[in-house]
Structure 1
Amino acid sequence: MYTIWTAPEQLDGPLGDDVIGYDVQAPDGSVGPVVRLSPVPGFDHLVIDAGVWKFGRSVVVPAGMVTAVEHGERVIKVRCTREEIKDAPRFERDQDTGDLFYLRRLGAHYESLTAAAG
């Protein structure tokens, strides 16, 4: 069963700490490097340093948005665009990624994208 919080089965297992530092690529360009993964069971997500295009902020992308992991190139591809990531509920660098209220809002945002895509 698909969930926004679980990486697709075709990715050869769950996303592990070995992807920290990988560049996250949206269809329209680089989002930034993975700086940490979710510590919350059942809410797998990537915390990404969005750097300059997001004014030094981090962004969060649920694992269910990942479409491919290319270990040789150290790249993670996601299905959402940079604009869709920018439109997600704001995440502060020092924010606790275990905040369930925030994670529910974030999940609703990304689920709306997958519903619209059909």
Structure 2
Amino acid sequence: MQPFPFAPWTWRDPTWLPGVDTGAERGRDTAGTGDRPDTGLIGYAVEATDGAIGKVDEDNAEVPADCLMVDTGPWIFGRKVVLPVGTVQRVDHQERRVYVDRTKEQIKDAPEYDPDDTDRDGYRQRTGDYYSESYRLVPPML
């Protein structure tokens, strides 16, 4: 059990994001990222605890800034999944990889994203509940 409740919609460490001024990266070009610093992660490979699951999709801007849209490619029949940013364990900008602390199976079993679903709040609630429960049952491996 985690010593604190899982916060699915909060970055664990926002300094992972490209364009966040950590002092060490002054002068880095962050043009075009606007209010969505996560757009700098588009195209990054996404790794679950047990292997690759896809890449941060170019349609990432269609979901709230506290989510990442991942194109799974052929892994789960070209399905796109939405991961709360709280699942991100770390980001490696040199390797262009986002590491999440959930398994491929946990991600595959998450509520399916439907871009035509008008119940955005309901989907957000189902997704948040699903991942919060997954952290209660199987804490992250840090």
Determine what percentage of the aligned residue pairs are the same residue.
37
Listed as ranges, the matches of 1:11-30 within 5 Å are 11-12=14-15, 14=17, 16-30=38-52
Q: Which residue of 2 aligns with 1:65?
A: 87
TM-fit CA distance, 1:16: 2.0
Give 1:95 deviation, angstroms.
3.9
Greater share of strand: 1
Letter in 1 for 2:120: D
Cα separation, 2, equivalents of 1:97 and 1:61: 19
State whether structure 2 residue 83 is matched by structure 1 residue 80.
no
CA contact (8 A) 2:63 2:69 kept: no
Offset of residue 40 of structure 1: 3.0
Alignment check: 8 A CA contact 1:58 1:91 kept: yes
Q: How many residues align?
A: 114
**Structure 2 matches for 1:24-39, cutoff 5 A?**
24-35=46-57, 36-37=60-61, 39=63
State which of 108, 113, 124 in structure 2 corresponds to 1:103: 124
The one-letter amino acid of 1:63's match is: V
Structure 1 stretches of 4+ with a deviation exceeding 6 A read none
5+ unaligned residues in a row in structure 2: which ranges?
A: 18-36
- Using the alignment, how far apart are the partners of 1:22 and 1:95 within structure 2? 25
- Cα shift at 1:90: 1.0
Structure 1: unaligned runs, 5 residues or longer: none
Q: TM-score, normalised by structure 1?
A: 0.85
Q: Please, what TM-score do these two structures have when normalized by structure 2?
A: 0.71
Q: Which amino acid aligns with 1:40?
A: P
User: Aligned-pair distance for 1:3?
Assistant: 1.3
Alpha carbons 1:23, 1:32 under 8 Å: kept: yes
* Structure 2 Cα separation of the partners of residues 97 and 107 of structure 1: 17
Aligned to 1:40: 64
Tell me if the contact between 2:54 and 2:72 (Cα under 8 Å) persists in the aligned partners. yes
Q: Equivalent residue for 2:7?
A: 3
Q: Secondary structure at the match of 1:83?
A: helix
Give the partner amino acid of 1:77. Answer: Y
The alpha-carbon deviation at position 13 of structure 1 amounts to: 5.4
CA RMSD of aligned residues (A): 2.3
- The separation in 1 between residues aligned to 2:9 and 2:102, in whole angstroms, is 14
